[in-house]
Structure formats: C-alpha cells, structure tokens
Structure 1
C-alpha cells in the first residue's frame, strides 16, 4: 500500500531511495539545482557505475550544475519540454510528489508525496515506471547540449570586443556542421586537444586565430576567425 509523505518524510525517503539504488535510478524534476548532499549521493552512484537518468524541463542549468554533471560518466541528463511531473524511483521504490529536485524547494516549501514499494504495489509501481520511461523517451539527452552551453554561448558576452571572430556554434552553422561535429574536426586537425572529455586550445589552434574565453554566464568557450577554414 502506498505511504503518504509530508515534507520531511519526502526528503528522507528521497535520500534513502538514491542510497539504496543498486541497478537503476530515475529522477524526474522540472527544476534542477542539487544541494551538496544530493551531489555526494549521485557521485557515489556514479562511482558504483549505477545507471542514473535525470530529466528536467523548467529552468536552464546553471554553469556549476553543468560542470559537475559533465564529470559523471554514468549520469545521463535529459530535457523534456512542458515537464511538470516529479517522480523519483529506483528498482524497488518510487516517490510521486510535489517536491522538485531543487535546493530551495527541499528547504523552504511545504510538500506532499506518496511512497510506492514495488513489492507491495506491483501494478502501481509498474504504471509509474512505464510512464517514467515514456518521459525519458520523449526527452532530449543533453550531453552534447551541455558541451554547447559550456563552450559556445548563443551570443557574445557583453565584454567581448573581438568583432571579426565568432563562437564555435556560429562557425559550425556557417560551415554547415553541428557544433559537436566541428569540435571533433578541430580536434582531428590538431586545433583542439581533448583531455578528460574537455576541449583545450592547442598551439596550432592559437596560430590559426583561435581564442579561449571565459564568460561568467556561459562558462568557457572558443572564438575563431570568421573566415576560418578546416
């Protein structure tokens, strides 16, 4: 039988659900801003090579969330348009709740939820799991998108003074490529070097006019001459 959860109980069982995950973990929350405790728990799941799927949909990820998530090989993040559901589940437990996976909500809001145990409510758990899988299927995985946000802002920061250079995303559009395809080609031609999954500008890239920049809003990115040719 499903168990009613108040705010404190929701937070408690959410933490237990994450800790007890042995095979899979699904976290569906429109708003996503993880507190230090959640990051610690998810990092531990990553070390144990547990398959973790996070689906969000209401707010753009902040640079600190992006940089942290990029380090976790077994945590896949997806964006789902018009997402309003909040559901958290492992292979045995499921929480359907009003609580977002958001630091402010966990501390300040009054929330409600229900805890479903697979052993006690097999059909109810199955229905929730199938709906969670449907949401995952219709969502867009954002591993590449995270790289784009971290490396190429949609527009130049206000402090950018270089008028004859463009971001990697703009250069990719001009060359008829996707941003990740351009980055791969730049790595193949020696203009960029990939270390630990991150792109670094090489001497050849600098000689070709490439520049590394850091934006407080978008994080690190690259600029290239507008007439750059591979």
Structure 2
C-alpha cells in the first residue's frame, strides 16, 4: 500500500515566474494544494524531502502547514527537461476514507516459453481505491506462457476494495513468438522498399564495391597478358 510521508510546508504569498525562481534557488519547490470547495493554497515545499517522497508513485503526503496537517496526493509534477529537477508540484487534498482514481504500475514476472517475446503493451492501469490504501503496483505472471497468451486489464487481480477504471478489454501483456535478427532485417527492408525509402551507400559498402571492381579489372588484365 502507499506510503505516508510527512513534509513540512510553508505558505507563500509571492507568485509568478520571478518568485518561483527565487524559491528554487533556496532548494525549495513552489506548489499549489487544491481541494474541493476550498481556495487553492500556495505552498513552498523542501526540495530534497519532496524529491525523495515523489520517487514513490502515489505517495500520500502528510503536509504540516504551520502546525496543521493535511493529507495530499501529487497530481502533476513539472520537471526541468534537462536536469530533471522538480520545478513545481500540483497537489490535491484528500481525506481518510475518501476514494480516488490513480494509475498503478504493472510489473511482469516469470519467464515465458522459449523463443518468445513478452510485450508490456500498457504499463499501468487506472483504478479507484481508498486514498490512504493505494496499492504500490500490480503483478502479473507469464511463467511458461506460449505465443498468443494475453492478459487484459480485466484479468489483473485486484485487492479487495479496489475497482478497475481502465477498459477491461485493454490489452496489458501479450506473449509473441520471437523473431530472428535476419528475419527482422528482411521485414524492415521489405517495408522500406514498399514505402520507397532508399538508403545512401555507406563508406564501407562503397569500399567493398571498389575492391570487388578492382579485383575484376585485375583478372581481365591477367587474361589479356596471356
């Protein structure tokens, strides 16, 4: 089940890009806490503690805001595209006993039959569950499964109290027959030919072709000398 992590947050009164940059320079993160029927609350979160907490999917955060505790889930985390540092967090207020819809990761275990390939078509499913009892992940097994074996969303085993939101017919895992490298290259070449794609001759291919032509010319010269 989901972890509950306590974080000390501060209320903030400065907004805008300039204020956000100043907050981040102090190793803190600007955030907004949204709740039903309440005004959004603008907060500042500790940088390192928040980063560590959000490594856990669907972690329930216990926010200590000036001595008052609030339970929250991170709904949107904005990261720097290069550094991957957290730049802003949108949080949603939750209550014990309340049900929420969240995405849960799918983990595949076991070894399928020889000469097969396991495709994880959909890495997570959406479920409705109690806010303070969110599963960490769901595990499905492909042990010994032959080509053609499939697991649909409706076939994923869910704990009591957890309801599937994803379409039950959504394909999650598919076991297919593995393809050799030669067959894969042949299929790719055929597809490229049908699409009219032509590749420029590589330096290695040009050099090999030149050597071949030189060898042929050399052979013709030898014959003429005879």
Query: What range describes the TM-score normalised by the shorter chain of this pair?
Result: under 0.3
Bigger relative contact order, structure 1 or 2 (CA pairs below 8 A, ≥6 apart): 1
If the length of structure 2 is used for normalisation, what is the TM-score? Answer: 0.24
Higher strand share: 2
- Of Structure 1 and Structure 2, the greater helix share is in 1
Superposition TM-score, scaled by structure 1 size: 0.24
